[in-house]
Amino acid sequence: MDYDDMLDRAANETADVTGTDERLSVPDPEVRQEGSVTVVENFQRLCDSLGREPTHLLGFLQREVGTSGHIDESGRARVTGSFDAARVSDAVDAYVEAYVRCSECGLPDTRLETEGDVTLLRCEACGARSATPSDD
Ligand SMILES: [Zn+2]
């Protein structure tokens, strides 16, 4: 029994060491044009997969594509202008690099912490804390 525990632990540690290649399973954005508005149908699911607040991702998305938007009652993001799925996907990738993936170990096991008016990315895998881009 103890030996099995040791094997389990060894396996877990090995997984951590090789974990830098770990990929987030983020769904591709499902994007639809509605007049002059771009609707991201699976926005809520995107946020769930990233473990982030929809309003936070939306704020980033708005800055990335330079427009304004809001989240509707069904959890879809609606942003002004025409953006295809690739553009939204690029913005989500940039968000992951800035606000999800640990800059030290590359794992996505992180959460955002606020210290004063600074937002820090805290990694639960390696313990690193790193600055995030300013919200301004
Ligand atoms: Zn880390």
Average pLDDT over residues 29-53: 97
Every domain of the chain and the residues it spans: 24-100, 106-136
Question: What is the 108 CA–ligand 1 centroid distance (Å)?
Answer: 8
Question: What is the 70 CA–ligand 1 centroid distance (Å)?
Answer: 32
Class of domain 24-100: alpha beta
Confidence of residue 3 (pLDDT cuts 50, 70, 90): low
Strand partners, 33: 38
pLDDT tens figures, 81-99: 999 999 999 999 999 999 9
Please report the pLDDT score of residue 113 as a whole number. Answer: 94
Please report the pLDDT score of residue 49 as a whole number. Answer: 95
Regarding predicted confidence, which is higher, 12 or 68?
Answer: 68
Question: What is the 58 CA–ligand 1 centroid distance (Å)?
Answer: 25
Please report the pLDDT score of residue 133 as a whole number. Answer: 86
For residue 15, pLDDT over 50 is answered with no
Q: Look over the chain and give the mean of its residue pLDDT values, rounded to a whole number.
A: 88
> For the whole model, what pTM was predicted?
0.80
